[in-house]
Amino acid sequence: MARTFHTVGVVGLGTMGAGIAEVFARAGLSVIGVEVDAAALERGRDNLRRSTERAVARGRMTPGERDDILARVGFTGALADLRDADLVVEAIPEVMDYKRALFADLDRVCRPGAVLATNTSSLSVTAIAAFTSRPGQVVGMHFFNPAPVMRLVEVVGTVVTEDGLTADVAELARRVGKTPVTVGDRAGFVVNRLLLGYLNHAVTLLERGVAAKDDIDTAMKTGAGLPMGPFTLLDLIGLDVSHEICEVLFQETRDRVHAPAPLLRELVTAGLLGRKSGRGFHDHAGAARPPASAPAGPAGPAGPTVGSVHVLGDGAGDLAARLAAAGVKHTEAEEADVVIALSGTPVVEHAARLPRPERLAGLHLVGDRVAEVVSTAITAPETARAVAGLMEALGRTPVPCADRAGFVVDALLYPYLNDAVRMYDSGYASIEDIDTAMRLGCGYPAGPFETLDAIGLGTVRDGLRALYAEYREPFFAPTPLLDRLVTAGVTSIRGR
């Protein structure tokens, strides 16, 4: 028989907890909010009040609806007041010892039939449940910040979760206006498992000097169409939170892509945590220059005026025609002011065949708006600046980068897609649920499998092979499923 939920407790009323309380209250449920002391309780009350007032100001809620929501939420400093709750959701800091102690207390004070849920984003739900006498009634209910706005909820079951419980909790999520994705208890679940590998890898590219942080952000936002660049997102999440999730992921996977990048660890140790501290990868409070690796390409004043170019590679004719329309003539390589290699392979391979290789820069066009300007070890700085200027004249945003496999966008995007295929192939989640989770949980314009089909399975497989050949990281090797699909001539992983 399906469970019904009428009264919900929320323990921890920070930004996330207050948002969760608001979600339940908006749906007409009675909510009991719990905090550790009077000061924290008042902050929680203020969080809820400010959030609902913003909704009224933006026309998303009437004053009467706001008053009804506030009337449905009670505030207390005593866990014992949760004794009649049907469901209790904890939203306290991501520290296992804190959560275990809280769940032991909740197990003692809540009625036997109550369901206990953790909002953990990465910790083991099984380990938390083990500290209760009712592990079968403990689930994960992972909301995303801001909870009133974000539609996704990851519902996490364990190997001992009672039959039907995750379905009941998923139905509750639908009742409060969310889209649930039901998964098993693996570190990071769907969203953080895929997201943090990508973010951590972005930090590694920065450390290796492939590109500067602002250019990486630009490439992924403007070129790949993501809502924000990886360093902007890391600062928003909190570098300490990101570091901790990476640690949890690494402890489970032992994959180096999840081992926190040294630069990430260094910033956390220095107290540079992102927006909440005023400074992280970016400066959020007018502080001194934020940490960054030196840019790999153009820097300083604009490059020399270019009167002639020679373009190599696939699509050379089209680019040459566009440059000619802008007043730059196409000529032989020996005579050109600059040589541009349109290439997905190492650009230096072209340079080695030129009489003046310092005049060569690579170019990788991403979407309709970005051009990755690639400098080899022998590209003259003025050449890279000149090519960047040509791209600006054509209406593209230049992203300077080093001559490394995948450059910036593909080096970050393809491993993320590969990891999604790996997750699906392991049986952890369906293609539809993974796509839904990343679209709703991260605000991506498309899920990884939608993106994979749009780019082409063969293109992504070959790009991963190039990344693996350069970096020799097992994480970059194409998953066996992706390899088999390409070999079999399958063109759509979603439609196969």
| pLDDT over threshold 70, residue 291 | no
> Residue written as tokens 């909790």?
169
Give CA–CA dist 2/170, Å, rounded: 11
Neighbours of 82 (CB within 10 A): 24
Beta pairing partners, 76:
34
Under a CB-based contact definition with an 8 Å cutoff, are residues 465 and 419 in contact? no
Average pLDDT over residues 327-348: 91
Per the rule left: phi > 0, alpha: psi between -120 and 50, beta: everything else, 116 is: beta
Region class of 274: left (phi > 0), else alpha (psi between -120 and 50), else beta: left
User: How do residues 135-153 score in pLDDT, each as one tens digit?
Assistant: 999 999 999 999 999 999 9
Looking at per-residue pLDDT, the higher value among 344 and 425 belongs to 425
Out of 51, 192, 242, 375, the active site residue is: 192
Instruction: Look at the chain and count its residues.
Output: 496
Q: What b/e readout covers 116-127, taking b as 16+ CB neighbours within 10 angstroms? A: bbbbbbbbbbbe
Q: Residue 285: its pLDDT value, please?
A: 78
Residue labelled with tokens 């992706």: 482
Average pLDDT over residues 47-66: 96
Categorize the per-residue pLDDT at 496 as very low, low, confident or very high, splitting at 50, 70 and 90. Answer: confident
Structure tokens at 75: 């505030």
CA pair distance 47, 63, nearest whole angstrom: 17
**Which helix (H) or strand (E) covers residue 53, if one does?**
helix 38-57
User: Which pLDDT band, with edges at 50, 70 and 90, does 352 fall under?
Assistant: confident
Q: What is the average pLDDT value for the chain, to the nearest integer?
A: 94
pLDDT above 90 for 78? yes
pLDDT of res. 2? 85
pLDDT band at 304 (very low <50, low <70, confident <90, very high): low
> What is the model's pLDDT at position 495?
82
| 90 included as an active-site residue | no
Percent of the chain with pLDDT over 90: 90
The vertex-314 CA angle with 313 and 317, nearest 5°, equals: 90
Q: Of the ranges 3-7, 87-91, 291-295, 397-401, which one carries the lowest mean pLDDT score?
A: 291-295
Q: Helix (H, G, I), strand (E, B), or coil: what is residue 252? A: helix
Query: In the chain, pLDDT over 70 holds for what percent of residues?
Result: 96
Q: Please confirm, yes or no, whether 282 is among the known catalytic residues.
A: no
In sequence order, the 6+-apart residues with CB closer than 8 A to the CB of 1 are none
Residue 328 CB-half CA count within 13 A: 26
How many CB atoms sit inside 10 A of residue 288's CB? Answer: 7
List, for residues 400-438, the tens digit of each pLDDT value.
Answer: 999 999 999 999 999 999 999 999 999 999 999 999 999
Q: Write down the pLDDT at residue 25.
A: 98
pLDDT at 287 over 50: no
Q: Which residue out of 30, 35, 124, 142 is catalytically annotated? A: 142
Q: Out of 22, 35, 90, 154, pick the active-site residue.
A: 154
- What are the beta bridge partners of residue 375? 402
The order of strands in the sheet holding 329-330 is 329-330, 308-312, 338-342, 360-366, 370-375, 397-402
Q: Tell me the β-bridge partners of 279.
A: 274, 283
Query: Which pLDDT belongs to residue 286?
Result: 63
| DSSP letters spanning 423-478 | HHHTTSS-HHHHHHHHHHHH--SS-HHHHHHHH-HHHHHHHHHHHHHHH--GGGSP
Of the residues 47, 121, 343, 375, which is catalytic? Answer: 121
Q: What is the pLDDT of residue 302?
A: 47
Any catalytic annotation for residue 154? yes
Please report how many Cα atoms fall inside a 13 Å half-sphere around the Cα of residue 62, on the Cβ side. Answer: 3
Q: Among the residues of 294-407, which ranges form H helices?
A: 316-325, 348-351, 381-393
pLDDT at position 299, please? 44
Q: Would you say 186 and 137 are in contact if contact means Cβ atoms under 8 Å apart?
A: no
| Span 232-244, pLDDT tens digits | 999 999 999 999 9
| pLDDT surpassing 80 at residue 305 | no
Mean pLDDT of 328-345: 90
Mark whether 124 is an active-site residue.
Answer: no
d(CA 213, CA 399): 11
Report how far apart, in Å, the C-alpha atoms of 231 and of each of 203, 236, 423, 452 are: 8, 9, 25, 23
Written as one letter, the residue type at 194 is L
Q: Does residue 303 carry a pLDDT above 60? A: no
* pLDDT tens digit sequence for 175-201: 999 999 999 999 999 999 999 999 999
Can you tell me the distance from the alpha carbon of 184 to that of 362, in angstroms, rounded to the nearest whole number?
44
